[in-house]
Structure 1
Amino acid sequence: MDELDAYSRTVSAVAAELIGRVAAVRMSRGTGSAVVIGPDELLTNAHVVGEGHSGHVDFVDGSEVPVRVAGSDPLSDLALLRARTVAGLPEPVRLGDADRLVVGQLVVAVGNPLGLAGSVTAGVVSALGRSLPTRSGQAGRVVEDVIQTDAALNPGNSGGALADSHARVVGINTAVAGAGLGLAVPVNATTLRIVDALRTHGRVRRAYLGVVGRPAPVPAAVAERCGRRTGLKLAEVIPGSPAARAGLRPGDLVLDVGRRPVHDAQGVQRQLFGDAINTPLPVTVLRNGAMVDVIAVPTEL
């Protein structure tokens, strides 16, 4: 009973802090949830807003606030809403860092599934580093490093909060992968960079390299020399892409991009925002036991 009581107290405390700060979203062609992240801003999913430009958000206290879409990024499935009124939004949530999550950690989902406002479910982080195909219509594009949870998610939860035991929002719920499986876009430094771009420009400019890969171990002898345990093993290099023109090949193990260590696909994506477009980008790979340096020049996606 003591363990159950402690668990219940934790979930209840998270719910109490977040329920009033997660709204139900009504757009012209879609519904979902949104999280208050600033004095006049809410974060939701791009697929919730769709092609819409304006709508309303409703809070559990009965208040209704008109909003407009300040920016949308289908490739991360994130969208930024801005309130049309000077006042009316609750205090913003506290944002956490999904990069610090561990499998088995308690998480709490807050949203408006099936139109049921202020719904709370709890579970654990089931897995990290999942990939989610985007709804952008661009074949082969995925949202990387998605959080998998067994906290129950249903239609309408999209855009809602996934929080840790301290009520810090670590994810934006985005999809139901099947019975007992939910997925959330991580809240981390990359997400904040995307939000800042939406806030400033209404869209996210991205550089394109043209590689597909997965994390793989670095051979022990090389790992000792370079202090690296994992890299990104290239499964595919898109023909005619900047990566192909630079000489990258399937089977290469990427160790550094832009002079920064790379351990997974997200490590590459962090280097591929607007400032990397048409700019020489050094890439270090391990090929047939030897270090190979190439210079790629990413184009705009």
Structure 2
Amino acid sequence: MTQDEPRDDEPTQPLTAARPATPPPTWVPPMTQSPPHRWAGLPPTPYAGQQPFGPPFGPPAGPPPRHAVPRGRVPGWLWPVVCVLALTLGVAGGALGGLVYERATDDGPGTVSSGLSGVDTVSEAPLTADNGSIEAVAARLLPSTVQISAEYEGQKGGATGSGFVLDRQGHVITNNHVVADADESNGPIEIVDQDGNRYSATVVGRSSVYDLAVLYSDEARGLTPASLGASQELRVGEGVVAIGSPLGLSSTVTAGIVSALHRPVTTGDAGNDSSYINAVQTDAAINPGNSGGPLVNLRGQVVGVNSAIATTGGGIGGEAGNIGVGFAIPIEQVRITADQILRTGEARYPVIGAQVQTGQNDGKGAEIDEVMPDTPADEGGLRKGDVIVEVEGERVTDGIALIVAIRSHQPGETVEFTIVRDGNERTITLKLGAETG
């Protein structure tokens, strides 16, 4: 827009009166000039056609009427209206956000229809890669680690374990075996933070197959989420820290190294639900009560969930104390299972539809005992007596190793199996089925 300029056809006002001509005109100009308009400073907003700073060119036509608002000015009464409107919209937006979240949890308390993508998790490492301080790791992770107290066989607080804060929406990760009895009997479950505050919690969903459970407490939304890392980046000999509540001693920190990777282990007994873990093995001290707590790298990221220990009797689990061999569920599996549970309240695991011998440990592979009809194994041509020696090029030594290898994939994936049949090696491809558990 250009500057306002006087128009050529506008009348001007002479400084003195002109001598009238004959005949006298009907219009008589004023005999004196109006006093100049005094500029009262810059208005809050420049007039249209005016430079951002400075008065307009030429004198204005005169002050506006008292009831009129000069161009560019905002009426004083408008600001309270704008503030009230903004406040109203903010409250409405918050209510709408809460409504959206509540609708997202219609499948059960704590469920989120979009899974992990619908909650606020943290992946950025809180510490640098060259950090070697266990003290720094503990300072970062202790506020995100909780103790779990659950009813067991009718006794309130009869089961204790550990867990860590998954997100800012009040979800906590722990082991299935810590809360399974309380969930089945509708017994009370509590989350206890570092400061001793207790929050009532419910089970969103759990998986006995992967020994994982997701808890939810609306009261725990203010807790700090733990940063999620990657167990695939671990190296044998790398330093790790285990945090939890061993023997009921909350906020306990122990340190060690990664002593093995991709260790196939099973927990539980054969008569009950057993979990098969493609575990991270560590010599960090893990005892009963550490179950469900985080295994953390020195960058302060969770790389696994402590789940089991080896006992002097040769088994996995039990009530024996630490002997330097503990196992953690890789965080990649935790992400997958937690996402499934958040979406539907249930976890799914892959199957091929065949039974395998788990007692043999001669290192020659996993022998198939039975193939169920109309299953991926049946449709793919797997037979009783076949020995599976590789899954996707990775060696399989026994039945447990086969189960763990299959469960490292996801339902619907197409997986290549190398088998030995009648002394001959061949390859078959199966599309994995799915079951809930």
Aligned to 1:155: 288
Distance 1:136 1:75, change over 3 A: farther
Deviation digits for residues 118-173 of structure 1 (CA, Å, limit 9, x no counterpart): 11000011112222323375679542311111111111111111100001001111
Deviates more, 1:116-125 or 1:127-136: 127-136
1:11 aligns with 2:134: yes
Matched, 1:28 2:151: yes
Query: Please, which of 382, 387, 391 is the counterpart of residue 251 of structure 1?
Result: 387
1:206-246 per-residue CA deviation (whole Å, 9 max, x = no partner) reads: 332136599xxxxxxxxxxxxxxxxx974222312342563
Greater alpha carbon shift after TM alignment, 237-246 vs 69-78: 237-246
Match of 2:195? 61
Give the residue type in structure 1 aligned to 2:329.
Answer: V
Give the % identical residues: 30
Out of 164, 174, 180, the residue aligned to residue 297 of structure 2 is: 164
Matches within 5 A, 1:1-301: 10-29=133-152, 30-39=159-168, 40-53=170-183, 54-85=188-219, 87-135=220-268, 141-178=274-311, 179-188=323-332, 190-209=333-352, 210=354, 234-241=365-372, 242=375, 243=377, 246-248=380-382, 250-254=386-390, 256=392, 265=402, 266-273=404-411, 275=412, 281=414, 283-285=416-418, 287=420, 291-295=426-430, 298=433, 300=435
C-alpha distance in 1 between matches for 2:395 and 2:257: 24
Work out whether residues 23 and 35 of structure 1, in 8 Å CA contact, stay in contact via their aligned partners in 2: yes
Whole-angstrom distance in 2 between the partners of 1:77 and 1:144: 8
Q: Which structure has more strand as a fraction of its residues? A: 1
Q: CA deviation at 1:204?
A: 1.2
Q: What TM-score does the superposition give when structure 1 sets the normalisation length?
A: 0.77
Structure 1 residue 18, shift from structure 2 partner: 0.7
The Cα shift of 1:254 comes to 3.7
Shift of 1:8: 10
Deviates more, 1:42-51 or 1:247-256: 247-256
Instruction: Give the greater-gyration-radius structure (CA).
Output: 2
**Amino acid in structure 2 at the alignment position of 1:48:** V
- Give, as a single letter, the amino acid of the residue that structure 2 aligns with 1:58: V
State the distance in 2 between where 1:138 and 1:196 align.
29
Counterpart of 2:100?
Answer: none
**Preserved contact between residue 70 and residue 198 of structure 1 (Cα < 8 Å):** yes
Alpha-carbon separation, structure 2, partners of 1:240 and 1:255? 17
Change (3 A) 1:116 1:169: same
CA shift in 2, pair 1:152/1:295, >3 Å: closer
Cα contact 1:72–1:78 (8 A) shared by 2: yes
Q: Aligned equivalents of 1:263 and 1:192: distance in 2?
A: 25
TM-score by length of 2: 0.55
Decide whether aligned partners of structure 1 residues 296 and 198 sit closer, same or farther in structure 2, where only a CA change above 3 A counts: closer
Alignment check: 8 A CA contact 1:22 1:118 kept: yes
- Report deviation, 1:251: 3.3
Which whole-Å CA distance do the structure 2 matches of 1:146 and 1:88 have between them?
Answer: 30
State the Cα deviation string for residues 165-193 of structure 1 (Å, max 9, x = none).
001001111122131221111111x3211
Could you list the runs of 5+ residues in structure 1 that have no partner in the other structure? 1-6, 215-231
| RMSD of Structure 2 on Structure 1 (CA) | 3.1
| Other-structure match for 1:228 | none
Amino acid aligned to 1:149: T
- Look up the SS of the partner of 1:180 in the other structure: coil
Cα shift at 1:268 = 2.8
Residues 114-123 or 291-300, more deviating? 291-300
Equivalent residue for 1:225? Answer: none
8 Å CA contact retained: 1:98, 1:187? yes
Q: Which has the higher contact order (CA 8 A, sep 6+)?
A: 1
Partner of 2:20: none
Aligned residues: 267
Q: Distance in 2 between matches of 1:133 and 1:286?
A: 23
Partner of 2:216, secondary structure, is strand
User: In 2, distance between residues paired with 1:123 and 1:234?
Assistant: 32
